[in-house]
Structure 1
Amino acid sequence: MTKHLTKCDRINFFTCPVVSFSFYKKRTNELISSKLNHTMAHPQPPNIIETCHISPTTGTVPSTTLPLTFFDAPWLTLPLADSLFFFSYQNSTESFLKDFVPNLKQSLSISLQHFFPYAGKLIIPSRPDPPYLQYNDGEDSLVFTVAESTETDFNQLKTDSPKDIRVLHGVLPKLPPPHVSPEGIQMRPIMAMQVTIFPGAGICIGNSATHVVADGVTFSHFMKYWMSLTKSNGKDPATVLLPPLPIHSCRNMIKDPGEVGAGHLERFWSQNSGKNSSHVTPENMVRATFTMSRNQIDNLKSWVKEQSENQSPVSTFVVTLALIWVSLMKTIVQDSETEAEEEDKDEVFHLMINVDCRNRLKYTQPIPQTYFGNCMAPGIVSVKKRDLLGEKCVLAASDAITARIKDMLSSDLLKTAPTWGQGVRKWVMSRFPTSIAGAPKLGLYDMDFGLGKPCKMEIVHIETGGSIAFSESRDGSNGVEIGIALEKKKMEVFGSILQQGIKKFET
């Protein structure tokens, strides 16, 4: 371990104690809100056991420079991507440090031999030179923190019920600040990891990374590779069944079809503050998780198919997203409308979805599914307010989402790329822009580090507003799990509207 673990030291790290909210009982809400206001004023610091720098073993990865593509450039001005994975763990801290952490570090070091950009830096030269990714052998690493929490209730931390958004921040790692050279070149760390034990209850593995380096497909690939190595518990990697290796060599063949990246670079240079973009904690917000069962989804799919003019089958993702989007817009509009606004039925609401472009770009060779980087095309779904909130609102949303996906998949994505910015600007300027984080197909609950699959997973950066987190249901029943962040009162309204919507389609 001495070759890839260096500079271990202790630091202080503050978190907020967990408070859960009753979903529908007003008296309990009042009691818990009072308790929340009291406890949030006195945050309890967890014990940071160590902070290490982990990298590939020296000599296993050559120093490498990778250019950013036009798929990467949009993320230069956007917040970090944060995620948390919770696992049941009944053992003590001593057992955790002896039996689990060394293996976790060792397997991470080996994984970074193949996913090395995560251990590298985003280099930002002086304008007009474009930013790029760099890994320097023997110098670069990612920060890995080991912590112990004895003041926080693990079961409340991983609850689906609404909880103050700040309670998860203590188990998130902190990405180190950028370093600026005498020549004015910024060097930003790419990723940080934190593993926190709750003795006798569970473990949380947290991640914070700049989205510039890669999208959710790549991140899921990396996590599954690391997980597979950790679960093998020190076996020779050559004897372990592992996911395929990532491919880095495709970046040079991803050509910008129309100065798409240049526009994002101009925006970045005008906004660049020299710091990693991170979300600001909104006030008075909670986050909650909702699950739709396979039976509920099938009922909804049947209804949409029957009501649709062409009566074509619809996907689980489409109908689930349609219901959630409608419920969310009804919640927000109900809380913010004035009489004048209610008359504006021609207002258009916009939803951003993303389509994976791997194997769909018309290059000489297709971009493989194991490509390391960002490779997502944004698609804007637009529905008039009167339709999205009308009698057949779910059908209107479902038809619009289906049509947008079909249009994107049937078109030459490279030819349409120069127009993506126009759609995104329209989305940004709308009153209630909504977007998606995660996807059921990513298999985010397939992360068994030898402790069993996660008992909960959270995509934390949905707190920045307007995002809906999607994953497969954790029970393996082929349902869908949805994460939402809203103000406390709006969350209760959203839960009620969603449940009413689900019951409407029950048979």
Structure 2
Amino acid sequence: MNYPTVRQISECFIKPQYASQDSKLPYYLTPWDLAMLSAQYIQKGLLFAKPPEAKHDEDFMADLLEGLKESLSLALVHFYPLAGRLATVKSENPASYWVFVDCDNSPGAKLIYAALDMTINDILSPVDVPLVVQSFFDHHKAVNHDGHTLSLLSIQVTELLDGVFIGCSMNHAIGDGTSYWNFFNMWSEIFQKKRGDSVNAISRPPVLERWFPPGHGPIINLPFTHHDQFICRFESPKLRERMFHFTSESMAKLKAKANAECNTTKISSFQALSAFVWRAITRVRGLPPDQTTSCRLATNCRPRLNPPLSQEYFGNSIGLTKGIATAGELLEHDLGWAAWQVHEAVVSFTHKTVESWLDSWLESPEIYQLEKTFDPFSVMMGSSPRFNKYGNEFGMGKALALRSGYAHKFSGKVTSYPGPEGGGSIDLEVCLPPDTMSALESDKDFMEAASTTTYLSSQLDTILLNE
């Protein structure tokens, strides 16, 4: 399908409103951060309906952009690493490559204003997420190491005919999903507070003090002399990307079913959902019974460390845990069995797990490569429905939907969002090859639990009636 082209109207760079003394010092990267140098930027965004008064206000977009710039400048006082650039000190004998963030010598974060002659309905009503959504984000296909020359944070504000999409691309070597949404939440909070009064008063200031394993840091030298030795640019295969909605009732049923089949109460709603998706995708892939498959979950290390890290710790603090089975085992057993494999993987991810990974990494530093990290027989559950994603309003009320960019898309990638209506509902963004997606859409068990987003449909009907 041919879509209109997103037109870039303007761009500028935003610096913190004032520079703290700490922001003039190198911002060190930890093993978790450095491991991300070949991964892609985090790209998530929110779609808003223009408020009714925007129809009669010629200055609506100009005022919105001015407010976004002002509040971003204040937010960057707290999150100053996002206004920096990566820098490297290297030597050849011995091989040494030290990457850090230079927060002082940088033009700042980028803010783009763009426009697209499409409506909210054009974006949300198709069965598949339209490819044009990828154009709502800057730094398309960039890897985190590109942050030497690209901004570490880029905000793109795309004006639709009846809506506004705010897309944020953040360098994944600077922070993970927890850090990303804390920034987004605090930026919105500053905007909502009418900005000027809030520079010294945000509810969840980031903890910027770096955490390193005992006896290591703050300088960690990688055993390389050139970035070509560890950078690999991942290209997504041909995929269909579709949103599936799980109501709070559907989630409760999956949780109850999984626990009943295991005679336990320990399996969480999300563990049950992850297992349900794992079994469904494995089923429609038609894998040989002896093919090993896994359900992988990005896991927050902060509460698992001893002592724990603050949830406001800014940076990366994530690991990967997984339930493993052969395709035959997974499909011969019931949902409860699969959910228990996921549950056990989560429960066994402890301080010792994190410590072991860090010790191994420090002994032999490894930069994640997407094509090596993920395999075509597994499912990867990314992001989290626990993040406060719909709490970001920017003066336009609650967002209608969440969408993501090109980054980190491969067969079996499943990104989880809270459902727009709350109450424990969840939206899943599922990426699969076209034939596999068609098979999933024909899978009765899966489609009976998943639904089209009836909540969104009602919101769209209201928007269209107001036009």
TM-score bin, normalised by smaller chain? 0.7 to 0.9
The Cα of 1:209 is off from its aligned counterpart by 2.4
Q: Are 1:404 and 2:345 matched, yes or no?
A: yes
SS at match of 1:208: strand
Q: Are 1:414 and 2:358 matched, yes or no?
A: no
Which position in structure 1 is the counterpart of 2:7? Answer: 47
Change (3 A) 1:72 1:383: same
Change (3 A) 1:218 1:153: same
Q: Are 1:154 and 2:120 matched, yes or no?
A: yes
SS at match of 1:389: helix
Q: Is the 1:257–1:414 contact (alpha carbons within 8 Å) kept by the matching residues of 2?
A: no
**What's the TM-score, normalizing by structure 2?**
0.83
- 413-422 or 99-108, which moves further after superposition? 413-422
Which position in structure 1 is the counterpart of 2:318? Answer: 376
TM-superposition CA deviations, 1:7-43 (whole Å, max 9, x none): xxxxxxxxxxxxxxxxxxxxxxxxxxxxx2xx2xxx5
Which position in structure 1 is the counterpart of 2:208? Answer: 248
The Cα of 1:458 is off from its aligned counterpart by 1.4
The Cα of 1:177 is off from its aligned counterpart by 7.9
Q: Distance in 2 between matches of 1:287 and 1:406?
A: 31
**What's the TM-score, normalizing by structure 1?**
0.77
Q: Is the 1:69–1:256 contact (alpha carbons within 8 Å) kept by the matching residues of 2?
A: no
Change (3 A) 1:369 1:282: same
SS at match of 1:243: coil
The Cα of 1:80 is off from its aligned counterpart by 2.1
Q: Distance in 1 between matches of 2:17 and 2:373?
A: 43
Give the counterpart letter for 1:329 in structure 2: T
Q: Is the 1:123–1:188 contact (alpha carbons within 8 Å) kept by the matching residues of 2?
A: no
Change (3 A) 1:379 1:281: closer
Q: Is the 1:359–1:367 contact (alpha carbons within 8 Å) kept by the matching residues of 2?
A: yes
Q: Are 1:280 and 2:235 matched, yes or no?
A: yes
Give the counterpart letter for 2:398 in structure 1: K
Q: Could you tell me which of 412, 417, 420 is aligned with 1:474?
A: 420
Q: Are 1:223 and 2:184 matched, yes or no?
A: yes
SS at match of 2:306: coil
Q: Could you tell me which of 170, 193, 200 is aligned with 2:135?
A: 170
Q: Is the 1:70–1:256 contact (alpha carbons within 8 Å) kept by the matching residues of 2?
A: no
Give the counterpart letter for 2:209 in structure 1: S
Structure 2 residue runs without a partner (length 5+): 452-467
Q: Distance in 2 between matches of 1:379 and 1:70?
A: 18
Q: Distance in 2 between matches of 1:391 and 1:288?
A: 27
Give the counterpart letter for 1:163 in structure 2: V
Which position in structure 2 is the counterpart of 1:496? Answer: 442
Change (3 A) 1:495 1:263: farther
Which position in structure 2 is the counterpart of 1:291? Answer: 245
Change (3 A) 1:202 1:186: closer
Give the counterpart letter for 1:271 in structure 2: F
- 57-66 or 482-491, which moves further after superposition? 57-66
Which position in structure 2 is the counterpart of 1:145? Answer: 112
Q: Could you tell me which of 398, 401, 404 is aligned with 1:456?
A: 401
Q: Is the 2:381–2:414 contact (alpha carbons within 8 Å) kept by the matching residues of 1?
A: yes
Change (3 A) 1:190 1:441: same
Q: Is the 1:130–1:265 contact (alpha carbons within 8 Å) kept by the matching residues of 2?
A: no
Q: Are 1:447 and 2:400 matched, yes or no?
A: no
Q: Are 1:115 and 2:79 matched, yes or no?
A: yes
Which position in structure 2 is the counterpart of 1:349? Answer: 293
Which position in structure 1 is the counterpart of 2:456? Answer: none
Give the counterpart letter for 2:337 in structure 1: A
Query: Counterparts of 1:70-109 in structure 2 under 5 Å?
Result: 70-90=31-51, 91-92=54-55, 94-109=58-73
The Cα of 1:57 is off from its aligned counterpart by 2.2
Q: Are 1:319 and 2:272 matched, yes or no?
A: yes
Change (3 A) 1:430 1:208: closer
Which position in structure 2 is the counterpart of 1:4? Answer: none
Q: Distance in 2 between matches of 1:142 and 1:46?
A: 21
SS at match of 1:373: coil
Q: Is the 2:88–2:100 contact (alpha carbons within 8 Å) kept by the matching residues of 1?
A: yes
Which position in structure 2 is the counterpart of 1:271? Answer: 230
Change (3 A) 1:176 1:64: farther
The Cα of 1:385 is off from its aligned counterpart by 1.3
Give the counterpart letter for 1:196 in structure 2: T
The Cα of 1:429 is off from its aligned counterpart by 7.2
Report how many residues are paired.
433
Query: Counterparts of 1:225-240 in structure 2 under 5 Å?
Result: 225-237=186-198
Q: Distance in 2 between matches of 1:173 and 1:186?
A: 16
Which position in structure 2 is the counterpart of 1:57? Answer: 17
Q: Distance in 1 between matches of 2:323 and 2:372?
A: 9
Q: Is the 1:448–1:454 contact (alpha carbons within 8 Å) kept by the matching residues of 2?
A: yes
Q: Distance in 2 between matches of 1:206 and 1:357?
A: 26
Q: Is the 2:282–2:327 contact (alpha carbons within 8 Å) kept by the matching residues of 1?
A: no
Q: Distance in 2 between matches of 1:264 and 1:312?
A: 47
